Structure 1
Amino acid sequence: MLLEKANQLLNENKLKEAEFHFKTILDSDPENGEALFGLGRIALRLERYDAAVYLLQRACERLPHMLEPLHALADAFNGVHSPQDALTVLEYAKSIASHNPEPHYYLAQHYLTYGELDKAYSILKHALGMGNYPVTAYILFELVQFGRFNNEQNYINELHQFLTLTNNLRLKMVCYYALGKSYDQLNDTEQAFNYFSLANKLQTKLTQFRTRDLEPFYQRIIEQNTAELIDARDKTFTGTITPIFIIGMPRSGSTLVEQMLASHDDFASLGEDASISNQVVAYLEQQTQLPYPDCLAELNQGLINNARNIYIERIKQAPVVRPFMINKLPANYQSLGLIYLLFPNAKFINMQREYDAIAWSVFSNYFAENEPYFCSLPEFKQYFDLYQQLMEHWQNVMSEAVFDLSYEALISDSEQTLTALCNFLNIEYSTQFLDFYKSKKPVATLSKTAVRQPLTDKAVEKYKRYESAMHTLMRESQTSSTSQQTDQNAPVGE
């Protein structure tokens, strides 16, 4: 009963309460593998990877035939930058469940992350032949992303067959995204758009808020980050490391630029690191007893120093520390003022891309998160407008620290664009930047396959095949929204 309650709390993300229950179980039963597994998962979510490794190793010893603890342990090893240990664990999991496609899928994901595309493809193809399991939807989805199929040999029949076997909303959604990608690859744009639309509609059902709910939050960010506040930063601050933040909208080319920069000897990357919002902001909120961004009004030098050290400690955890440390979490644009106060030497690369291209890429790709702007064109337009409004404010109060980088210019004139970026960063341009695709550094974003290829213009105008359908959908959505508002405001009859 206590274990069931602890797992329920963990599923509800009530981590402190769940931790208390798991520890209570261990007080009376120190060798309880399920409780150790629960604590290990909590440590993973809190990014306490050393603790996660310790707890999950103990859990795996006590639950030797369970796959979940092994997969979690592999995640923990990746968290402490031990990919070879992670690979060993995943290979072991596959060996003890050789006829189960799930450990094959996790192993393939590992190879995808580290750029071993052929190995990943081979494992996924093998796993597909093991029958239909819930993970089969994800296996098919990943196989489709490779694009290694044609009109005669593809995965469309398998996807349709799987759809007849499941009522699970998320699994259906994943299959619809895969079918959309398949028909897109086969140049059947009408079918592709229909399936992407179905996928978005299903995912929208899983969202729990509307983008317009964010408007007051964005307005408070602008109100709190005054020109006076930004100008009060310590302009004499110099650090041995220059923090680089690649920001902007999702699908705007941030992974490409990160990989380009990280191919240079002076750069290393933290990936999409959320420690600013998860740790630094949490610290300031706790100290001031005010939510972000209101807590910025209570900043003093002591709080700034402590908050800065939190991020510095995060940088020190990187597998390698270089003079320029990249953080490519696009949503960090919400925290530019705070970051600039902590690190007056920070540089911000704001990714720019044609709006319709971004909107189409978001609409046609599966984001595991259930934010409404990832699965609805009208919601994404609202989100984009909020971003534009906030970036206009940052340009007004800290323009010297922000460089707008055009994705289209990067593709069409890469050397000139990168030279301008290097001038902004006060470094020399290097041809190393264009060797980014040769890297085996981990990439876990949706671009993990694309960035293993040389620079190409294939994606620049791909959205244009869908422009008409996108604009029609937007008009229909706006008309539907207006009609609903009219109905809600209409007088009730007698």
Structure 2
Amino acid sequence: MTPALASSDSDPERLHGLGDAALLFLRQGNRSFDAGDFAAAERCFAQARREAPVHAEPLRLHALALHQLGRAAEAVALLQQAARQRPDDALIQNALGGALGQTGQGEAALAALRRACELDPGLSPAWANLGNALAMAGRTAESEAPLRRALELAPQLESARLLLAEALMMLGRIDESAAQYRELLQQHPHSGQAWWGLANLKSVRLDADDVGRLQALVRRRDLPDAEQLTARFALAKALDDTARHAEAFHAYVDANALARRGFRWDAAGFARWMEHLRATFERSAFVPADVQFGAEAIFVVGLPRSASTLTEQILAAHPQVEGASELGDLGAVIREESRRRARAFPDWVADAGAADWRRLGERYLERTARWRERRPRFTDKAPANWMLTAAIRRMLPGARIVDCRRDPLETCWSCFRQIFWREHEYSYDLGDLAAYWHVYDAAMRHWSAAHPQHVREQVYEALLADPEQQTRELLDFCGLPFDEACLRFHEAERSVRTASAAQVRQPLNRDTARTARYGALLDPLRRALAR
């Protein structure tokens, strides 16, 4: 999201009615907000609210700081209060749309952002936020127009150009996406995010000139952490593209070390939790009343970078299947139930009966209904849903689960070369990656053996060796008739919201293995995976 404007010093109307004390705290808060010290800004804006409890502007500014601190639900409550006082205020509606989006209220967020654009057609951040919200909702084609409108109003608006470049990538317009990233680098040569966006177009190669510019960029000491991180990953990709593999390896190690700051993934704790989850489900018997319930859904799971996007693209080329890409609805339904029961998942599983699981399945299908408006079946390609295989079997006993597998060394190394902005903390350390893979492998082999009619291993290397036979078997597993269009998956017109968006627009490429180029440098990962 493009940040809403915080400062209101230049707009006396917004400050009308505030006393001197409230104004002082607002100005102090604005300075802290502009400096990126959101905790200090929040304290100042909270004090301003105490001085003027019902004034809309302290409410708006306090909400902006809360949003930046990850407290979006609190921000929504304040902004709704502010909107009741000033229903025709574009800045409030823009901020409300951003906060609603963060709390998962997508349709309400779109309504607020559209309202902001209507109220002030010249407010470029609102147009950018509307475009982003549409893209996040899977409506990528619709997002292009508001993003271009934002750039017409503010050609230097970095966030809008980043969003437009990403949207074009998702739509398969790779050359246009690359051009937008290059334009952004002309305007903002120190934008690590633009460099990473360009590098993340997997079919675009960076050259020796790019290497030099990136090496100079990462030496800068004034780059914010996010820009330094993205620039380092882009440099590693550029070194790889120019066949400087030893340098690329060490650049990836440095980039991942920076990404890993601030958190530690607990491999042993994760293994214990997965064993607890498996045992909890095994202890509670379950017989579904309707074994076909949920057959509309096809879950595509596995580790990232294991050809899950390719598998979904093959399925989405079928005339009966809508490719929904990475949906968060399954996890959201589980979290809703955990909040309702005031118990963490999977601790409440033993107390859930057939009616509960049916209710949860119905809730999931309700949340995903729009993906069945044009076609009767749909894919949910969130790789980490492999952890919820047992829950899927109870919620949606008719659903199919496709477990995407690729050579584990290639998979883990590919993950190490990727920035995952959330959820994949294990991916920034080769030892953690190997540990995660072992837990995944054991769990999915267990569930595949327990549910052979509903869980299929889709092996990438087998697909490369015999595309037609593997595609026929995949479609048969999903209960779909064979269709030649699935062999021409790269021609399917749809939004692909993953790092593989450029690759799946091309025919199958058998030359995708990369680890051999790194030789003995990857021996520690090889040994960890072989244990």
CA-CA distance at 1:273 after TM superposition: 0.9
Evaluate the alpha carbon distance shift between residue 333 and residue 229 of structure 1 in structure 2; reply closer, same or farther with a 3 A threshold.
Answer: farther
Is the counterpart of residue 181 in structure 1 residue 226 in structure 2? no
CA-CA distance at 1:467 after TM superposition: 4.4
Contact 2:305 2:411 in 1 (8 A): yes
Is the counterpart of residue 76 in structure 1 residue 130 in structure 2? no
CA-CA distance at 1:86 after TM superposition: 1.9
Residue 276 (structure 2) aligns with: 220
Write the distance in 1 (CA, Å) between the matches of 2:321 and 2:514.
31
Residue 462 (structure 1) aligns with: 514
Write the distance in 1 (CA, Å) between the matches of 2:247 and 2:268.
31
Letter in 1 for 2:309: T
CA RMSD of aligned residues (A): 2.5
Letter in 1 for 2:250: N
Q: Spell out the pairing of 1:292-303 with structure 2 (5 A cutoff).
A: 292-303=345-356
Evaluate the alpha carbon distance shift between residue 160 and residue 65 of structure 1 in structure 2; reply closer, same or farther with a 3 A threshold.
Answer: farther
Evaluate the alpha carbon distance shift between residue 301 and residue 239 of structure 1 in structure 2; reply closer, same or farther with a 3 A threshold.
Answer: closer
Is the counterpart of residue 376 in structure 1 residue 429 in structure 2? yes
Letter in 2 for 1:462: R
Letter in 2 for 1:156: V
Which one of 101, 119, 138 corresponds to residue 193 of structure 2? 138
Residue 129 (structure 1) aligns with: 186
Which one of 301, 304, 316 corresponds to residue 262 of structure 1? 316
Letter in 2 for 1:98: P
Evaluate the alpha carbon distance shift between residue 29 and residue 427 of structure 1 in structure 2; reply closer, same or farther with a 3 A threshold.
Answer: closer
Letter in 2 for 1:110: A
Q: What do residues 102-158 of structure 1 show as CA deviations (whole Å, max 9, x unaligned)?
A: 43222111111111112212222222222435xx21222222344545755x41122
Residue 53 (structure 1) aligns with: 110
Evaluate the alpha carbon distance shift between residue 82 and residue 443 of structure 1 in structure 2; reply closer, same or farther with a 3 A threshold.
Answer: closer
CA-CA distance at 1:472 after TM superposition: 4.1
Letter in 2 for 1:141: W
Contact 1:241 1:322 in 2 (8 A): no
Could you list the runs of 5+ residues in structure 1 that have no partner in the other structure?
Answer: 477-494
Is the counterpart of residue 407 in structure 1 residue 463 in structure 2? no
Which one of 203, 217, 227 corresponds to residue 162 of structure 1? 217
Could you list the runs of 5+ residues in structure 2 that have no partner in the other structure?
Answer: 1-44, 46-58
CA-CA distance at 1:88 after TM superposition: 1.4
Evaluate the alpha carbon distance shift between residue 275 and residue 107 of structure 1 in structure 2; reply closer, same or farther with a 3 A threshold.
Answer: same
Q: Spell out the pairing of 1:406-485 with structure 2 (5 A cutoff).
A: 406-459=459-512, 461-472=513-524
Q: What do residues 390-435 of structure 1 show as CA deviations (whole Å, max 9, x unaligned)?
A: 2233134323311111111111211122222233223333321121
CA-CA distance at 1:83 after TM superposition: 4.2
Contact 2:162 2:194 in 1 (8 A): yes
Contact 1:47 1:79 in 2 (8 A): no
Residue 37 (structure 2) aligns with: none
Write the distance in 2 (CA, Å) between the matches of 1:111 and 1:378.
35
Contact 2:402 2:455 in 1 (8 A): yes
Which one of 14, 17, 24 corresponds to residue 81 of structure 2? 24
Q: Spell out the pairing of 1:265-280 with structure 2 (5 A cutoff).
A: 265-278=319-332, 280=333
Write the distance in 1 (CA, Å) between the matches of 2:207 and 2:102.
42
Write the distance in 1 (CA, Å) between the matches of 2:213 and 2:79.
42
Tell me the TM-score normalized by structure 1. Answer: 0.88
Contact 2:138 2:324 in 1 (8 A): no
Q: What do residues 55-83 of structure 1 show as CA deviations (whole Å, max 9, x unaligned)?
A: 11233455655543322211223355654
Write the distance in 1 (CA, Å) between the matches of 2:295 and 2:524.
48
Residue 299 (structure 2) aligns with: 245
CA-CA distance at 1:268 after TM superposition: 1.1
Contact 2:192 2:226 in 1 (8 A): no
Write the distance in 2 (CA, Å) between the matches of 1:128 and 1:261.
36
Contact 2:114 2:130 in 1 (8 A): yes
CA-CA distance at 1:473 after TM superposition: 6.9
Contact 2:141 2:171 in 1 (8 A): no
Tell me the TM-score normalized by structure 2. Answer: 0.82
Residue 161 (structure 2) aligns with: 104
Secondary structure in structure 2 of the residue aligned to 1:294: coil
Residue range with higher mean Cα deviation, 76-85 or 337-346: 76-85
Q: What do residues 165-202 of structure 1 show as CA deviations (whole Å, max 9, x unaligned)?
A: 43322211211111111111111111111111111110
Secondary structure in structure 2 of the residue aligned to 1:229: coil
Residue 194 (structure 1) aligns with: 250
Write the distance in 2 (CA, Å) between the matches of 1:82 and 1:291.
33
Contact 1:140 1:155 in 2 (8 A): no
Write the distance in 2 (CA, Å) between the matches of 1:45 and 1:308.
24
Letter in 2 for 1:251: R
Q: What do residues 210-259 of structure 1 show as CA deviations (whole Å, max 9, x unaligned)?
A: 333323321221111117625x223x433484311111111100000000
Evaluate the alpha carbon distance shift between residue 423 and residue 53 of structure 1 in structure 2; reply closer, same or farther with a 3 A threshold.
Answer: closer
Q: What do residues 358-404 of structure 1 show as CA deviations (whole Å, max 9, x unaligned)?
A: 11101111222264312111111121122123223313432331111
Residue 95 (structure 1) aligns with: 152
Greater relative contact order (Cα 8 A, min sep 6): structure 1 or 2? Answer: 1
Secondary structure in structure 2 of the residue aligned to 1:441: coil
Residue range with higher mean Cα deviation, 2-11 or 333-342: 2-11
Write the distance in 1 (CA, Å) between the matches of 2:197 and 2:427.
19
Secondary structure in structure 2 of the residue aligned to 1:442: coil
Residue 119 (structure 1) aligns with: 176
Secondary structure in structure 2 of the residue aligned to 1:225: helix
Which one of 234, 242, 267 corresponds to residue 211 of structure 1? 267
Evaluate the alpha carbon distance shift between residue 98 and residue 7 of structure 1 in structure 2; reply closer, same or farther with a 3 A threshold.
Answer: closer
Residue range with higher mean Cα deviation, 221-230 or 302-311: 221-230
Contact 2:372 2:378 in 1 (8 A): no
Write the distance in 2 (CA, Å) between the matches of 1:345 and 1:370.
28
Write the distance in 1 (CA, Å) between the matches of 2:206 and 2:283.
56
Residue range with higher mean Cα deviation, 283-292 or 441-450: 283-292
Is the counterpart of residue 282 in structure 1 residue 335 in structure 2? yes
Write the distance in 2 (CA, Å) between the matches of 1:384 and 1:341.
25
Q: What do residues 323-371 of structure 1 show as CA deviations (whole Å, max 9, x unaligned)?
A: 3221111111111112111221111111111111011101111222264
Contact 2:199 2:234 in 1 (8 A): yes
Write the distance in 1 (CA, Å) between the matches of 2:516 and 2:343.
46
Letter in 2 for 1:144: A
Letter in 1 for 2:210: Y
Residue 233 (structure 1) aligns with: 288
Aligned residue-pair number = 469
Write the distance in 2 (CA, Å) between the matches of 1:249 and 1:336.
14
